[in-house]
Amino acid sequence: MENKELVRHGYNNCAQNYLKHRDLFQNQKYIDDLIDRLEPNSKILDIGCGAGIPIDKYLVEKGFQVTGIDLSSEQIGLAKENVSQAEYHIQDMSEIDFPDNSFDCVISFYAIFHVKREEHQQLFDRLFASVKDGGYLLVTMGAGEWEGVEDFFGSEMFWSHFGVEKNLEIIQNSGFQIIHQEIDQSGNEKHLVSLAQKPQKRKASLPSFDTNQEI
């Protein structure tokens, strides 16, 4: 079975079980910090959204417009039930094709490392394009370099990630500027959590004219 199909099949199989254990990871402080930076009614894209809770539900309750994508049809089915106010699509994050400047923010928790690490730079380049100038990126990535297949709630699951230094390099190479990064150890695991921002474009200055110049 190909890596992508391992991920799809694995999350389809464990959707309900994984949801029960999702709260082992404590993300509240990262989400609240992001919320403080966003304008009301901001548009947020959640890639690898899973079942929509707790993160998407919380964001919707705070008044944001949430769009979620996930490779797993079972996860998307649960998300539509759990967070009916959000918009959800079955979609491979490595193939996202939203128009440029579509979102005020992109988030992704515990999902990017299911994409082959050789594709991470291209993924972040696409995320950069999809975010508006001045918009934000909040993601978790691997804290160490590793690639392989492990048991995940009774199913085989594929993982692929670089270490911290390379991950931050990928984020910055796409054009984002790192605001904050730390190693989170909740859930008895280690993940790199990064908050970054897309720079505002500088307005072109108008040419100056000497009003006293003779014509």
- pLDDT tens string 141-179: 999 999 999 998 888 999 999 999 999 999 999 999 999
pLDDT of residue 25: 57
Neighbours of 117 (CB within 10 A): 21
Residue 48 has pLDDT above 90, yes or no: yes
pLDDT 10s digits, 178-198? 999 999 998 888 999 999 999
Contact 177, 196 (CB under 8 A): yes
Check if the beta carbon of residue 147 is closer than 8 Å to that of residue 161: yes
Q: Tell me, yes or no, whether 95 lies in a domain.
A: yes
pLDDT at 206 over 70: no
Q: pTM of this prediction? A: 0.91
Classify residue 51 as exposed, middle or buried by CB count within 10 Å of its CB (0-12, 13-18, 19+): buried
Please tell me what DSSP assigns to residue 62.
T
CATH number (domain holding residue 16) = 3.40.50.150
The verdict on residue 210 lying in a domain is no
pLDDT of residue 9: 86
Indicate whether 54 belongs to any domain: yes
Domain membership of residue 202 (yes or no) is: no
In a domain, 84, yes or no: yes
Distances (CA, A) of 183 to 1, 15, 74, 132, 159: 32, 26, 30, 27, 18
User: pLDDT at residue 52 above 90?
Assistant: yes
68 phi/psi in degrees, rounded to 5: -120, 140
Q: Where are the beta strands (DSSP E) in 71-130?
A: 87-90, 103-108
pLDDT the model gives residue 58: 95
- 13 is a domain residue: yes
Q: Which residues pair with 157 in a beta bridge?
A: 150
Q: Parallel, antiparallel, or unpaired for β 103-108 and 87-90?
A: unpaired
Calculate the alpha carbon distances from 113 to 3, 39, 158, 191 in Å.
12, 29, 8, 10
Find the domain containing 61 and state its range: 3-197
The answer to the question of residue 86 being in a domain is yes
The residue count for the chain? 215
Tally of domains in the chain:
1
Model confidence at 22, in pLDDT bands (50, 70, 90)?
Answer: low
Is residue 146 one of the residues assigned to a domain?
Answer: yes
